Amino acid sequence: MRVPILLAAPLARAGNTARKEREARTARLAGDPARGVALLSELFVDTQDLNFIYNQGRCFEQNRRYEDAIGRFEEYLRVDGKITKAAKADAESHIADCERLLAKQKSQDAAAMPPSAPQAAPPPTPPTPIVSTAPAVVQQTNPQPVGKSGSGLRTVGIITATVGGAAVVAGVLFNTKANSLVSDMQKIDSYTSGKESDHSTYQTLSWVGYGVGAVCVAGGAVLYILGLRSDAPAPTSVSLLPALGPKQTGIALTGAF
């Protein structure tokens, strides 16, 4: 029996539609939603059947692309009056499921992200070391008798050296405190900007203590030696000028003999 010519074209279109539906279903199950949705789009253009829009939503949903699935189901519901109440309720149920699964998916992605590292605070600017050029010993301009002058110089020398020793001790104490803060800050979760600032202050004070102490001890020794020279006229003018800077000290002795 021969098939009438009038039925050949519809049968061919039906066969083509069935083939595309099968390919779209295969792509959906194989995890290739892009190809499946493309085939369903062609079928909708050819037939204007809203079920192919619905099937696009199912294709995205089964491949966990929930945002795209919600968009397809909403497009399916926009054509009001062409779908039954049961079909509408079914599409709305799928939208609710996709929204719930999308929220869960976003929550899991957020929990899997590593926490951002906290930014380290910039180190504080250390205080500027104090530089002093003031004379450590007051000048003596009035000449005195040899004996009294020598005794006076020895006395001033002892006092000056004593003050220098105290300054050195203070420098040692400040340096010990600075080292203690360094050890404390090396402990886990013990670093603070306040401790860093205190460390810089104590370190600066230790430098000043060492410098002043060295100057005074050296000056006291010089004055004491001059005082021993009782057989020579006392200096008419003696001046000790310390120069202090970062991690360095200096001394200048001036006088007329």
CA dist 51 and 168 (Å) reads: 94
Q: Which tens digits make up the pLDDT trace of 200-248?
A: 898 788 888 888 888 888 888 888 788 777 545 544 455 555 555 555 5
Output 5 or 55, whichever has higher pLDDT. Answer: 55
Three-state secondary-structure class, residue 54: helix
State the pTM of this model. Answer: 0.40
Q: What is the mean pLDDT of the chain?
A: 77
Task: Please say whether the beta carbons of 45 and 57 come within 8 A.
Answer: no
Residue with tokens 């799928």: 94
CA dist 87 and 77 (Å) reads: 9
Average pLDDT over residues 155-160: 88
Q: What angle do CA 59, 60, 65 make, to 5 degrees?
A: 155
**Number of residues that make up the chain:** 257
Q: Which tens digits make up the pLDDT trace of 82-102?
A: 788 899 899 999 999 999 999
| 202 residue type, one letter | Y
Q: 71-75: which pairs have CB atoms within 8 A and are 24 or more residues apart?
A: 73/98
Tokens of 16: 């083509």
Provide φ and ψ at 220, rounded to 5°. Answer: -60, -40
Provide φ and ψ at 255, rounded to 5°. Answer: 175, 165
| 13 residue type, one letter | R
